Amino acid sequence: MENYKIGDVVVWDCAVGTVKGKIKDCFNTGLIPGIKTEVKCSKQNPGYLIELSDKNGILIGKNASDLHLEISPTTVQNLGLPKLTEKQILKLNQFIPTSFPNPNPQDLTVLDFVVADNLVNRGRSKWREKDLIILAKMLNTMGIPHTLDHDWETLSKTQGLVIAGEILKNEKAPDNLISAAGNKKLNSEIVNKEGFVQVIATVAFPIDSPIVQRLSMGIGRAVSLGGFAFEDYVCPICETSFTYKNCPHYIPEGWDAWGEDPSLVAPYYIRDGLYDLGELSSVLIANLPGATAVVGNGV
């Protein structure tokens, strides 16, 4: 358990939400003096006399087990998180409602995420480069939100704003991504034929966002696109729509593939004609194994 010192600003949860105060004194035995409630103090769970913030000197008592250190914007700044460039600030300002002041760049950080690539995902589908280019353009212009868990019902789950998107193309893909989700053979063929195409989204977050806090500890890196729509399901063998009469194949895991000759079920399907996009979300496990915050030595 964390030990606090005089002057630390701490937060704790109570019936009205999260409350904040500054530590005035610390006790390792007996009861905290000078307050009406009984708070028992021990070496294992020290007690603290705390002055409530914004309440003109009201004192209360709390044990260490109830408290957390406040993670203030300045604390996060000290973590050395990246700042928005001039260009990124201009981009972000395009999405601020008219007549609102522009946000203070000191309150924001910016993070890159790989949001899509041309490999086969866990749902046995994939994008082609032409639609990934459309996706990058959408990320550049639409100002879509970065949410938590694809939770569209809860506005407070919106944590950031996608301010830019770009295409990254390489001849090869890392082995761990080629082999992910058991698709090594398919992905090797795809990369040999098409190269490895990724879409990077740049997201601006308030530095006190829970996403930023968790990412700074390496937790919660996976992301997933939500609310996208595309025109057609394309057969990778015939390179035409599955609905085209000369294509004898079935969409994998599609309702009409049940009971059909397995040799006629396509190994995956291609999403074709992207025309809408809703949000980017932090998720526990991404449908696309390579969709994650850009970490370590990059992508």
Query: Minimum Å distance from CB 237 to Zn ion?
Result: 4
Q: Smaller CB distance to Zn ion: residue 49 or 186? A: 186
Query: Minimum Å distance from CB 165 to Zn ion?
Result: 31
Asked if 35 and 49 count as a contact pair (C-beta separation under 8 A), the reply is yes
Which residues lie closer than 8 Å to 223 by C-beta, 6 or more apart? 113, 114, 115, 280, 281, 282, 283, 286, 291, 292, 293
Q: Smaller CB distance to Zn ion: residue 240 or 292? A: 240
Asked if 292 and 174 count as a contact pair (C-beta separation under 8 A), the reply is no
Query: Minimum Å distance from CB 277 to Zn ion?
Result: 27
Sign of CA dihedral 1, 283, 72, 20: negative
Q: Smaller CB distance to Zn ion: residue 237 or 295? A: 237
Residue burial 272-286, b: 16+ Cβ < 10 Å; e: rest = bebeebbbbbbbeeb
Query: Minimum Å distance from CB 248 to Zn ion?
Result: 6
Adjacent-strand bridge partners of 293? 113
- In this structure, what token pair is assigned to residue 281? 């979300």
Q: Smaller CB distance to Zn ion: residue 79 or 237? A: 237
Closest listed residue to residue 110, CA positions, set 167, 165, 160, 166: 160
Q: Smaller CB distance to Zn ion: residue 90 or 237? A: 237
Q: Smaller CB distance to Zn ion: residue 222 or 235? A: 235
Query: Minimum Å distance from CB 267 to Zn ion?
Result: 11
In the complex, which residues of this chain contact Zn ion (CB under 5 A)?
Answer: 235, 237-238, 247, 249
CA distance 208 to 6: 24
- Phi, psi dihedrals of residue 187, rounded to the nearest 5°: -65, -35
Query: Minimum Å distance from CB 244 to Zn ion?
Result: 8
Query: Minimum Å distance from CB 235 to Zn ion?
Result: 3
Q: Smaller CB distance to Zn ion: residue 143 or 252? A: 252
Which residues lie closer than 8 Å to 9 by C-beta, 6 or more apart? 20, 21, 22, 23, 53, 69, 70, 72
* Strand residue runs (E) in 135-278: 145-148, 160-170, 196-206, 223-226, 229-234, 269-276
